[in-house]
């Protein structure tokens, strides 16, 4: 829809063509990314536990996910932050699926933040930290609406209502469910989490203790 309306706008007002083309490019790439990640989640679910896992630096994955999300964040007026500098042990994951999960989640939360009109006050942070359960990596936006109960309810409501996360997002939030589906194929899932007192959604990833990245 963005693409169609932008194209129409540039036809109505040729002087806006440059910006329109830029926006069309971003919208197209966002849409393709979402579709790709959805297909990946279906393929991963079909293949079950056969995904090839490797030692993965979560910080690097978050860094790449942030880079991929940057154009969409800019388009929606959402500030992205990255807190992944600490030395974190590698995890055993399917790198592509893990990054796709963070990107899908990121798109959903970017759209959600923008739909509350609170973008200036609420940056979206990609972050990782250690907990006693493992490496916790995810996206945090400080919205108090992200509670365990609300998240559980949204998972039950998915497919049955138009807005499973109505207090957080005006949209269906498909990216959240795609992210969760991808993570489930790697024996983990999305959970409500806190990072430096900020609420968000994250995955607990078991560290690979045999190998330490320098």
Binding site for other proteins (CB under 8 A): 1-2, 4-6, 8-9, 12-13, 16, 23, 27, 75-77, 111-112, 114-117, 119, 157, 160-163, 166-171
Distance of closest approach, residue 101 Cβ to other proteins, in angstroms: 24
d(CA 88, CA 207): 9
Distance between CA atoms of 180 and 156, rounded to whole angstroms? 13
Min dist CB 6 to other proteins, Å, is 6
Residue 214 beta carbon to other proteins: minimum distance, rounded to whole angstroms:
42
Cα gap 15→162, rounded to integer Å = 37
User: Least CB distance from residue 106 to other proteins, whole Å?
Assistant: 15
d(CA 78, CA 72): 8
How many angstroms separate the Cα of 169 from the Cα of each of 65, 154, 165, 185?
21, 11, 6, 26
Name the residue nearer to other proteins (CB basis): 157 or 192: 157
Helices 17-47 and 58-76: crossing angle in degrees, nearest 10, is: 140
- Nearer to other proteins among residue 124 and residue 137 (C-beta): 124
Q: Which two tokens stand for residue 195?
A: 């990072």
Kindly tell me which of 60 and 157 has the beta carbon lying closer to other proteins: 157
For residue 199, the Cα-to-chain-centroid distance in whole angstroms is 14
Q: Which residue's CB is nearer to other proteins, number 57 or number 158?
A: 158
Please state the length of the chain: 214
Least spacing, CB of residue 169 vs other proteins, in Å = 6
Residue 208 C-beta: closest distance to other proteins, Å: 39
Copy the structure tokens of residue 127: 């972050």
Q: Which is nearer to other proteins, 8 or 29 (CB)?
A: 8
- Between residues 9 and 82, which has the closer beta carbon with respect to other proteins? 9
């Amino acid at each position: 829809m963005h693409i169609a309306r932008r194209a129409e706008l540039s036809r109505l007002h040729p002087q806006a063509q440059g910006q329109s083309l830029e926006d069309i490019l971003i919208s197209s790439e966002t849409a393709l990314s979402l579709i790709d990640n959805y297909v990946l989640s279906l393929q991963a679910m079909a293949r079950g536990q056969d995904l090839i896992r490797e030692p993965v630096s979560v910080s690097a994955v978050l860094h790449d996910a942030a880079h991929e999300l940057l154009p969409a964040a800019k388009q929606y007026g959402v500030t992205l932050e990255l807190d992944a500098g600490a030395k974190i042990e590698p995890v055993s994951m399917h790198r592509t699926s893990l990054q796709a999960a963070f990107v899908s989640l990121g798109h959903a939360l970017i759209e959600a933040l923008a739909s509350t009109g609170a973008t200036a006050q609420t940056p979206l942070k990609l972050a990782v930290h250690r907990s006693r359960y493992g490496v916790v990596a995810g996206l945090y936006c400080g919205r108090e609406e992200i509670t365990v109960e609300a998240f559980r309810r949204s998972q039950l409501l998915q497919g049955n209502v138009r807005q499973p996360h109505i207090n957080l997002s005006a949209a269906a939030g498909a990216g959240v469910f795609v992210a969760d589906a991808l993570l489930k194929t790697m024996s983990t899932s999305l959970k409500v989490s806190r990072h430096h007192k900020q609420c968000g959604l994250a995955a607990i990833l078991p560290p690979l203790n045999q190998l330490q990245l320098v």
